[in-house]
Amino acid sequence: MTIAGLVVAGLAAALHVFIFYLESIAWTSPRARATFGTTEAEAETTKSLAFNQGFYNLFLALAVFIGLIVFGTGSAAVGLTLVFVGAGSMLAAALVLALSSRELLASAIKQGALPLLGVLCLIVGVLI
């Protein structure tokens, strides 16, 4: 179950790298505006905020990726801790998003489903 949790957490990290790309690099593009439901004017106005927010997503992903590497090198406790911190923070961010606006519930579910599954699998794997 631990390996499954690591794989799912890695997928969550990959998703957060994509979110970083949309927010920090492609925020004003038609694709990003369609994804986040913003107009061209809103995207221009919020560009610096999205840029910063994208980096938060990237840093959460990096915590998971570094944890995976450290786990793979034989330091299971340190690696799992980093994966738990990264994926747990992704999950917490999704919860904040869900609680902040009913309109963003679908986005929160998309953002939080993989971290939730990863964390649950890791908890089961650690307990067994």
Q: In the chain, how long is the greatest CA-to-CA distance?
A: 52
Distance CA 23, CA 33 (A): 10
- Of 82, 97, 95, which is closest to residue 10 (Cα–Cα)? 82
Kindly tell me if the per-residue pLDDT of 119 is higher than 90. yes
Domain residue spans in the chain?
A: 1-127
Name the pTM for this structure: 0.92
Q: Which residue has the tokens 């593009």?
A: 29
Kindly tell me if the per-residue pLDDT of 104 is higher than 90. no
> 37-54 pLDDT, tens per residue?
899 999 999 999 999 999
- Please compute, for residue 48, the number of CA atoms within 13 A of its CA located in the half-sphere on the CB side: 1
DSSP at 104: G
